[in-house]
């Protein structure tokens, strides 16, 4: 019998008899709830027998029980690490959102800074132009006053 047929026989036997484990003779597909009965029946048959379902711990070799315990521990560790990873990913997402907000704020600040600098440069240019005009006007008045003073000196001599 092939593996698929043996598995189907085992599933049917487990369901019909409400069993957690079934042992099936490979040659003819006879199912047994007891491992020893199946082993005795299958002794003279070709292929022996296979077990299906949840094999009780007492039937497993001690190293298998130990491996099962290690596996349970590893699965528990994996679940814990998965939870830690989920929390870490959430924190990373929060930090990325904060970073993006900061970058947006920095961009807005940079735009505002450029606007202030531009306004400051305009005000400076306007004040410089006014100051130059006043200096020019005062220089003209000073020249005029100097010329008048020279003229007064000449006339008073």
Question: pLDDT per residue over 50-81, tens digit each?
Answer: 889 876 556 556 677 788 888 899 999 999 99
pLDDT of 134 above 70: yes
Mean pLDDT of 81-96: 95
139/35 Cα distance (integer angstroms): 121
Does 82 map to a domain?
Answer: no
21/18 Cα distance (integer angstroms): 9
pLDDT of 29 above 70: yes
Residue 77: what pLDDT? Answer: 92
Does 78 map to a domain?
Answer: no
Does 151 map to a domain?
Answer: no
Does 47 map to a domain?
Answer: yes
Mean pLDDT of 104-131: 94
121/117 Cα distance (integer angstroms): 6
Does 142 map to a domain?
Answer: no
Residue 59: what pLDDT? Answer: 58
pLDDT of 108 above 70: yes
Where in the sequence is the domain holding 11, given as residue range(s)?
A: 3-59
pLDDT band, residue 144 (cuts 50/70/90):
very high
Does 146 map to a domain?
Answer: no
Taking a C-beta distance cutoff of 8 angstroms, is the pair 30, 24 a contact? yes
Between the alpha carbon of residue 124 and those of residues 51, 121, 127, 128, the distances in Å are 94, 5, 5, 6
Q: What is the tens place of the pLDDT at every residue in 3-23? A: 889 889 999 999 999 888 998
Between the alpha carbon of residue 15 and those of residues 29, 54, 87, the distances in Å are 16, 13, 42
Q: Minimum mean pLDDT among 53-67, 105-119, 136-150: which range?
A: 53-67
Does 39 map to a domain?
Answer: yes
Residue 109: what pLDDT? Answer: 94
Does 50 map to a domain?
Answer: yes
What's the total number of domains in the chain? 1
């Amino acid at each position: 019998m092939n593996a698929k047929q043996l598995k189907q026989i085992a599933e049917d036997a487990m369901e019909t008899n409400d069993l957690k484990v079934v042992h099936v003779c490979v040659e003819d597909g006879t199912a047994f709830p007891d491992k020893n009965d199946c082993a005795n029946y299958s002794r003279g048959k070709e292929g022996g027998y296979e077990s299906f379902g949840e094999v009780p711990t007492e039937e497993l070799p001690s190293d298998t029980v130990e491996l099962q315990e290690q596996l349970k521990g590893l699965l528990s560790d994996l679940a814990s690490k998965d939870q830690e990873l989920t929390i870490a990913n959430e924190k990373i997402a929060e930090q990325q959102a904060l970073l993006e907000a900061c970058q947006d704020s920095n961009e807005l600040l940079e735009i505002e800074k450029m606007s202030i600098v531009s306004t400051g440069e305009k005000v400076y240019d306007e004040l410089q132009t006014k100051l130059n005009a006043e200096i020019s006007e005062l220089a003209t008045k000073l020249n005029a006053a100097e010329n008048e003073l020279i003229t007064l000196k000449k006339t008073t001599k």
